[in-house]
Amino acid sequence: MPQSAERSKRAHAPVLLREVLDVLAPKAGGIYVDGTFGAGGYTEAILKAAACSVIAIDRDPEAITLAHEMSRRFPGRLCVAQGSFADMERHASSCGAGSVHGVALDLGVSSMQLDRPHRGFSFRHDGPLDMRMGPDGPTAADVVNTFGESQLAEIIRTFGEERRARAIARTIVRRRQEQPIETTSALAAIVSDVVGQRHDGIHPATRTFQALRIFINRELEELARGLAAAEALLEAGGRLAVVSFHSLEDRIVKRFLAERSGRTARPSRHLPQPAEPALQPSFRSMGPPRTPDPDEIAANPRARSARLRAAERTDAPAWPLVPQRLGVPTLGAEVRR
């Protein structure tokens, strides 16, 4: 890897780093999971904060290369696992950990991925229409060029919350008959033609790109599974810190922590109640969500929509996972893969 590329990756500042460290409170001998290693900002900060160890997980082969490089600077303290944070229990076990003291998740696409055109995540850089966080599975180009109009519209509407989803899907289908849509710039131009310029300064293709990325990488399903895995893996007193960047992610995290900490609204006592066993809260809330201060946003524009939610594990058993109760969107049978 060229040294300039390595320096560029290392330069990406992790969002809400000070606040995440405050939540995790790394201690000597502790074991922590960085479920979204990326460029390694959280992991490095945790390892420098105390004589502890980190289990670094990422689907991205480029991130895994960086993690192995970092492990040489912290011998015996950084265990690297390629895969999804939804499988963190298995990854922790392979690193010799049956439980951990903290879990950090920085959701969505990383700055490192956005800034590398060949990954195909960004409409600001021309590149192949890929968007995969890992090396396997269909690309965004596969979806855009083969799915039907109704399928594309449902994906864009559900995962992008885009009001013009049907018109965008119709235009994509018409344009791909002229020639395949294979680059980020080609798709961004198509969406921009339909949506037009937005008054808030956000690029018109933002929601469509978000939708395709979430669908391809099954991000919301993975998030629900990852939260449940963290619940099972954290020991009593362990901390969970989750940084999200858009409403779909944040809604799932909010509902998960509200439910697990006993803060969900109680149904009316006049209505029949489901015969569910009483479950003790498995988390204690660590207060309202935290957001970046103006200085961090000025230094790192990616931080502007970030929100950190945190909770501390109790000694109660983990709850069963019901993704629908967390607000994980479901697609029609013809769209699900």
Out of 3.30.470.30, 3.90.226.10, 3.30.1330.10, 3.40.50.150, select the CATH number for domain 3-111+219-326: 3.40.50.150
For residues 16-21, average pLDDT: 97
d(C-alpha 121, C-alpha 127), whole Å: 8
* Domain assignments of the chain as residue spans, ordered by start: 3-111+219-326, 127-217
What dotted CATH number matches 127-217? Answer: 1.10.150.170
Q: Kindly report the pTM of this predicted structure.
A: 0.88
Residue 279 has pLDDT above 80, yes or no: yes
Q: What are 42-76's pLDDT values in tens digits? A: 999 999 999 999 999 999 998 999 999 999 999 99
Check residue 136 and give its pLDDT: 83
Check residue 265 and give its pLDDT: 52
| Beta strand ranges found along the chain (DSSP E) | 31-34, 53-58, 78-82, 100-106, 234-244, 283-285, 307-313
Quick one: which of 308, 318, 312, 309 has its CA closest to 233?
A: 318
d(C-alpha 56, C-alpha 36), whole Å: 7
For residues 220-230, average pLDDT: 97
Q: What are 106-138's pLDDT values in tens digits? A: 997 655 555 555 554 565 667 889 888 887 889
d(C-alpha 4, C-alpha 8), whole Å: 6
Q: What are 30-46's pLDDT values in tens digits? A: 999 999 999 999 999 99
Confidence of residue 235 (pLDDT cuts 50, 70, 90): very high
Residue 186 has pLDDT above 80, yes or no: yes
For residues 162-190, average pLDDT: 95
Can you say whether the dihedral through the CA atoms of 81, 84, 90, 96 is positive or negative?
A: positive
Coil/strand/helix, residue 46: helix
- Contacts for 148-155: CB closer than 8 Å, 24+ residues apart: 148/173, 148/334, 149/173, 150/334, 151/334, 151/335, 154/331, 154/332, 154/335, 155/211, 155/212, 155/215, 155/331, 155/335
What's the mean per-residue pLDDT of the chain? 88
